[in-house]
Amino acid sequence: MINLPSIRDQFPVLAREINGYPLAYLDNAASAQKPTAVMDAMKAQSEQAYANVHRGLHTLANETTEAFEAARSKVAKFLGAPSEKNIVFTRGATEALNLCAYGLSHLIEPGDEIIISQMEHHSNIVPWHFLRERYGAVIRFVPVTEEGALDLEAFKAMLGEKTKIVSLVHMSNVLGTVNPIKDIAKWAKAAGAVMIADGTQAAVHMDINVQDLSVDLFCMTGHKLYGPTAIGVLYGTTEIFEQMQPFNGGGEMIADVFEDRVTYNDVPYKFEAGTPPILEAIGLGAAIDWVGQFDSEDIRQHEMALYHAARDGLADLNSVTIVGTTPDKGPVLSFNLQGAHAHDVAQILDKYGVAVRAGQHCTQPLMDRYGIHSTARASFGIYNTLDEAERFVSAVRKAALFLS
How far apart CA 123 and CA 98 sit, in angstroms, is 8
Handedness of CA 7, 11, 15, 18 (dihedral sign): negative
Conformational region of residue 87, where left means phi above 0, alpha means psi within -120 to 50, and beta covers everything else: beta
Topology match between the domains 4-30+295-403 and 39-292: no
| Residue ranges with strand state E in 267-374 | 320-323, 332-337, 354-355, 357-359
pLDDT average per 10 residues of sequence, the chain (404 residues):
95 98 98 98 97 93 98 98 98 98 98 98 98 98 98 98 98 98 98 98 98 98 98 98 96 96 97 98 98 98 98 97 97 97 98 98 98 98 98 98 90
d(C-alpha 213, C-alpha 194), whole Å: 13
CA–CA distance, 324 with 336 (Å, rounded to integer): 11
Position 189: which residue type? K
The backbone region for 70, taken as left when phi is positive above 0, alpha when psi lies in -120 to 50, beta otherwise, is alpha
For residue 122, give the DSSP letter.
G
Rounded to whole angstroms, the Cα distance separating 301 from 177 reads: 16
Q: Residue 244, by phi and psi: left (phi above 0), alpha (psi -120 to 50) or beta?
A: beta
113 in Cβ contact with 132 (< 8 Å): no
Whether 78 and 86 have beta carbons less than 8 Å apart is answered as no
Q: CA separation (Å) from 24 to 14, 17, 35, 37?
A: 8, 9, 16, 21
How far apart CA 166 and CA 140 sit, in angstroms, is 10
Residues known to be catalytic: 362
For residues 143 and 113, the answer to whether their CB atoms sit within 8 Å is no
Contact 394, 352 (CB under 8 A): yes
Cα–Cα distance between 404 and 395 in angstroms, integer?
14
Alpha-carbon distance of 167 to 180, in angstroms, equals: 13
Q: Cα–Cα distances in Å, from 105 out to 98, 102, 108, 242?
A: 10, 5, 5, 14
Q: Would you list the domain boundaries of the chain?
A: 4-30+295-403, 39-292
Q: For residue 362, what pLDDT is reported?
A: 98
- Side-chain half-sphere CA neighbours of 60 within 13 A: 9
CA distances from 275 to 229, 279, 318 (A): 16, 11, 54
For the domain made up of 39-292, give the CATH fold.
Answer: Aspartate Aminotransferase; domain 2 (3.40.640)
pTM above 0.85, yes or no: yes
CA–CA separation, 356 and 333 (whole Å): 10
Note the CATH number of domain 4-30+295-403.
Answer: 3.90.1150.10
- Return the bridge partners of 252, or none: none
Do residues 198 and 174 lie in contact, with contact meaning Cβ atoms separated by under 8 Å?
Answer: no
For the chain, give me the number of helices (H) and strands (E)? 15, 17
Phi, psi of 156 (to 5 degrees): -65, -35
**Bond before 268 cis per omega within 30 degrees:** yes
Q: Cβ contacts of residue 36 below 8 Å, gap of 6+?
A: 10, 11, 12
